[in-house]
């Protein structure tokens, strides 16, 4: 019996910063897949907070999933962007779950946070890990990296708004695309497809009513932006075709969300660098035989993300000036 077994739903929900799991550089190891939007939000937090030196990482391949689940390449060169398991040289992700609990019966998912000192899983819930990484290593960041120390994706004053948006965005969009895509009846598909697009409509309306918002909640990037980005960057690239979400596209039907997405990709350092369209597209197209039995990966859209234009840059500068002016009058 492990010291910290998973909960009944198959998840580990232990907290970095607790007496059992104090923050220490290079004590913990992160496992992700570049294809997974839930792992991607954790990867973004690690990247934007500058935690690479404190939290090493291993990356599973995007496919195949059959015959044992997600697996690691035999070398870092086998599938570019994926890595060997740097800790144990495991073949499969499930090896880590059984290493932590030999009687585990749940799913084998990423992200996964591992404690090297006690040799067990700490947490495998993406929102938990995001919020832990948001603050737990702040004291280890160099003194001259003030911006990263102060970067807070879950600030106290915005938590009510973050929680409110998350309460409907997560089930209806972040998870909603899967309910539509994996529906087994026409009725279920149509119901869930409509929910996805009504949620996009709601987010588009929010941004259109706040035309100077650089981020969803204003001039400050929050976890809402990270959660939304990892779904929207996949939407036109694979969800629209693969999950039959054909009512509209981000680039053609949602101008405010489209500009927000382009800003995240092109202007927030670290976002583009953690986005791998090959991993994303090949995972979905080659791992879901019931949806895409021939495993053909579609071409397009081209480009993956449209360019940031001069008009976009003028909008950004005006929004930043207005934000600075408002702060000056506070």
Q: Which residues contact 180 (CB under 8 A, 6 or more apart)?
A: 189, 192, 193, 195, 196, 243, 244, 245
Contacts of residues 148-155 at CB distance under 8 Å and 24 or more positions apart, as own/partner, are 148/48, 148/49, 148/50, 151/48, 151/49, 151/221, 153/45, 153/221, 153/222, 153/223, 153/226, 154/222, 154/223, 155/220, 155/222
Strands 28-32 and 57-59: parallel
For residue 19, give Cα distances in angstroms to 4, 16, 23, 133, 228.
13, 8, 9, 16, 33
Whether the Cβ atoms of residue 154 and residue 224 lie closer than 8 Å to each other: no
Whether the Cβ atoms of residue 21 and residue 113 lie closer than 8 Å to each other: no
Paired strand residues for 123: 13, 113
Whether the Cβ atoms of residue 62 and residue 283 lie closer than 8 Å to each other: yes
- How many Å is the maximal CA-CA distance in the chain? 61
* Spatial distance between the Cα atoms of 178 and 172, rounded to a whole number of angstroms: 10
* Spatial distance between the Cα atoms of 243 and 278, rounded to a whole number of angstroms: 17
Residues belonging to the chain: 330
193 belongs to the catalytic site: no
Catalytic one of 16, 32, 34, 36: 36
| Active site positions, annotated | 36
């Amino acid at each position: 019996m492990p010291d910290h077994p998973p909960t009944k739903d198959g998840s580990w929900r232990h907290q970095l910063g607790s007496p059992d799991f104090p923050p220490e550089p290079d004590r913990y190891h992160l496992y992700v897949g570049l294809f997974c939007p839930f792992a991607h939000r954790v990867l973004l937090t690690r990247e934007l907070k500058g935690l690479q030196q404190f939290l090493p990482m291993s990356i599973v391949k995007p496919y195949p999933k059959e015959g044992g689940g997600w697996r690691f390449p035999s070398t870092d060169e086998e599938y570019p962007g994926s890595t060997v398991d740097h800790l144990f040289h495991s073949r499969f992700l499930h090896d880590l779950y059984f290493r932590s609990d030999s009687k585990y019966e749940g799913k084998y998912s990423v992200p996964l946070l591992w404690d090297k000192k006690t040799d067990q899983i700490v947490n495998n819930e993406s929102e938990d890990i995001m919020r832990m990484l948001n603050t737990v290593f702040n004291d280890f960041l160099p003194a001259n990296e003030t911006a990263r120390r102060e970067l807070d994706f879950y600030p106290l004053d915005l938590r009510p708004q973050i929680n409110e948006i998350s309460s409907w965005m997560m089930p209806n969009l972040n998870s909603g695309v899967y309910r539509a895509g994996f529906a087994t009846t026409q009725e279920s598909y149509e119901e869930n497809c409509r929910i996805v697009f009504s949620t996009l409509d709601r987010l588009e309306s929010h941004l259109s009513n706040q035309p100077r918002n650089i981020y969803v909640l204003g001039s400050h990037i929050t976890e809402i932006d990270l959660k939304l980005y990892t779904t929207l960057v996949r939407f036109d690239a694979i969800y629209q075709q693969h999950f039959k979400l054909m009512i509209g596209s981000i680039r053609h039907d949602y101008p405010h969300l489209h500009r927000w997405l382009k800003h995240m990709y092109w202007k927030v350092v670290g976002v583009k660098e953690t986005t791998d369209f090959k991993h994303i597209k090949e995972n979905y197209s080659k791992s879901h035989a019931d949806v895409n039995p021939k495993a053909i990966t579609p071409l397009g859209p081209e480009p993956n993300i449209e360019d940031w234009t001069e008009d976009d840059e003028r909008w950004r500068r005006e929004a930043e000036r207005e934000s600075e002016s408002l702060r000056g009058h506070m």
